[in-house]
Structure 1
Amino acid sequence: MIVSAVREFPGRYPGLVDHEVLLAPPDPLLYVSRWRGEEDLVDYAGEHWRDRPVVLPGEDEYLLEPLRVRHFTAASLT
């Protein structure tokens, strides 16, 4: 469900540089997205992107617990 739901994201959200759905049982599913900048992320996830995960339509029925959101930044190595 998640893979098909996010398949079109790169075309819909130009600031989305890269994304992937990771499955590593027994761990839960992990969705990783990389954005060009904070403004692009806000366009996708809204002003509360730091603490409110985006829940896709119909995703609630698959959740065993509330979604958690974590953010990381990458520093240039030059």
Structure 2
Amino acid sequence: MKTIHAKTLEEAIIKASSELGCSVLDLQYEVIQAPSKGFLGFGKKEAIIEVCIKEKPQPPTHHPPLPPNPPH
């Protein structure tokens, strides 16, 4: 997983998408810290997420049907 810091969650997700070279829809992320404006600039916190690319399900492999067994 990769840790991303940004001013907002939206910016963090877009930044992660750019850094990982994939669509936002392909990301799986967990919010580590939600952004906070603080009071008069004190206690301001940025958004922190941990992100990775979703694993895509593997398409089923198609095997041709086996020929019937000849009678003995």
**For this structure pair, what is the TM-score category when the shorter chain's length is used for normalisation?**
under 0.3
| Greater percentage in helix | 1
* TM-score using structure 1 length: 0.26
| Structure with the largest fraction of strand | 2
With the length of structure 2 as denominator, give the TM-score of the two structures. 0.27
Larger radius of gyration: 2
